[in-house]
Structure 1
Amino acid sequence: MGSLSYTIKEHFTFTPEELRALVIGILLTGFMFSFDEWGTTTFSLSEGLRNLVNAILIATLAFLVHQSAQRIVALSVGFKLEYRIWMYGIIIGLALTIVSRGKLWLLAPGGIIAYHLVGHRIGSFRYGLNYWPLGMIGLVGPLSNLVLAMVFKLLLLLAPTNVLLQQAMVFNIWFALFTILPIPPLDGSHLFFASRLMYMFMLGAVIGMSTALYFFGIFASIVLGIIFGVVCWLSYFWHFEKGS
């Protein structure tokens, strides 16, 4: 534990390039998420700016939790992460938002690249990346956003009419769904290359939990997510892995 604490203290920080990429990602996802909230029937600058600021704050928390969880797990297994902008995700996301007038989003502005920590990895994978730990690092990002969405779901029990809490829950749900897609450099691609069967289970679980959180409580959402994950796992195994 002491060694991990030292490693986190020494290597957790973001580079200036990463901070730039994170700021761009946060601002753009906040803009996309609040695109259709500049007035209900007529344009309102004050209302739009307020909603934009709220969306940026929500995105900031979602990004920080997501990246922090991944960095801690990565450092614990001897990797250092670098966050990079995904230009295709930004361009497609902005185009989709504008064309749909804010009704559709693609909240996937970037992804991670992993490097070995010098002096922390020895043995057969010293000069090559092991797909399994990379898959787990990728997975913890979307899961951290689902946990955050569940926290906001709990807070909504105390303040059921709070729009900001509702928006925060929705943002984290969609952020988890988009980042688990198996498209490089998104998090889901790392898990997909580590284990397709594990990926199908977790994809189903994330989709199931995310959908259920809209309508049910946290426990029911987790159970339904696991069930849907098992269904996806069995379906993939039966159609693609059984005969191989």
Structure 2
Amino acid sequence: MASIVPVLRRHFRFTKAEVENVLIMILAFSFILGFDDGRDTFNAALWIANFLGCLVIASLSVLIHVCSQKAFGILNGIRTEQQLSWYGIGVGLIIAFVTRGAVQVYLPGSFKAYPISTGRIGRFRHGLNPATIGGVALMGPVANVVAAMFSKFLLFQVFGIEWVWLDRFIMFNFLFALYSMLPLPGQTGLLVFFGSRLWYSFGFGTLLGYVILFELGILSLFGALAIGAIVWMVYYVFFERKVW
């Protein structure tokens, strides 16, 4: 732990372009999340108040996603630079307008990876490789699900706090994690997929399984892992094994 802190302190930083990309992403996601405030008639003051709450949720969730990838990347000798997916932002906004906020799509984009020379010394295949980059990409959606799970356990299970904004925070992080895992061009899910198709099937299956169990009122990490293992096995038996 003592050696981790200096490494993060030395390399954990955002470029000006990254800050701009993250801010645009946060504003776009806040608008999509807050487009429909649940009221039959439009009230500007109430809509703005709802938007500000959505802005807090989107800010926390996006920063958790991006910072987790950046920190895990640094610890693996990789510097990440967040890239914005303009088509993803555009698709999300268009769908929000067309459905009046009933359907929410969050496509966060991906990142560029650069080797940290001193951080890659002594590692197998000194340069960058798809498996390591895929592992770094996976940390983003995993961190979002962990944040949702932890907030639900701490605030609701421990302190008994029921809050509508907590539910919105949890659901946003679940959707954010699942959308970011889609293997689409310009998305982190594609990096995970190319890093390891088997790990992708297990990771996506586990995340999806946890969300489904959560919606059914079942908080079971082991159940989610079991679903992930089943998805992994099905993918391996019916596809991966035939490819090799």
What one-letter code is carried by the residue in structure 1 that aligns with 2:176? F
The alpha carbon displacement at 1:78 in A equals 0.5
Preserved CA contact (<8 Å) 1:153 1:169: yes
Task: Check if 1:9 corresponds to 2:33.
Answer: no
For 2:95, the equivalent position in structure 1 comes to 96
Secondary structure (helix, strand or coil) at the match of 2:118 reads: coil
What one-letter code is carried by the residue in structure 2 that aligns with 1:191? V
The alpha carbon displacement at 1:201 in A equals 1.0
For 1:80, the equivalent position in structure 2 comes to 79
For 2:120, the equivalent position in structure 1 comes to 121
Misfit runs of 4+, over 6 Å: none
Matches of 2:223 and 2:118, distance apart in 1: 43
Secondary structure (helix, strand or coil) at the match of 2:95 reads: helix
Tell me the percent identity: 33
Structure 2 runs not aligned, ≥5 long = none
Preserved CA contact (<8 Å) 1:156 1:165: no
Preserved CA contact (<8 Å) 2:35 2:100: yes
For 1:159, the equivalent position in structure 2 comes to 161
For 1:25, the equivalent position in structure 2 comes to 25
Matches of 1:224 and 1:216, distance apart in 2: 12
For 2:134, the equivalent position in structure 1 comes to 135
Deviations along 1:71-126, one digit per CA (max 9) or x if unpaired, are: 11111110001001111101111111111110111111322111001333246634
Matches of 2:117 and 2:225, distance apart in 1: 38
For 1:194, the equivalent position in structure 2 comes to 195
Matches of 1:118 and 1:46, distance apart in 2: 52
- Root-mean-square deviation (CA), in Å? 1.6
The alpha carbon displacement at 1:3 in A equals 3.7
Matches of 1:130 and 1:109, distance apart in 2: 22
What one-letter code is carried by the residue in structure 2 that aligns with 1:12? F
Secondary structure (helix, strand or coil) at the match of 2:81 reads: strand
Matches of 2:40 and 2:106, distance apart in 1: 26
Secondary structure (helix, strand or coil) at the match of 1:242 reads: helix
Matches of 2:217 and 2:223, distance apart in 1: 10
Aligned length: 239
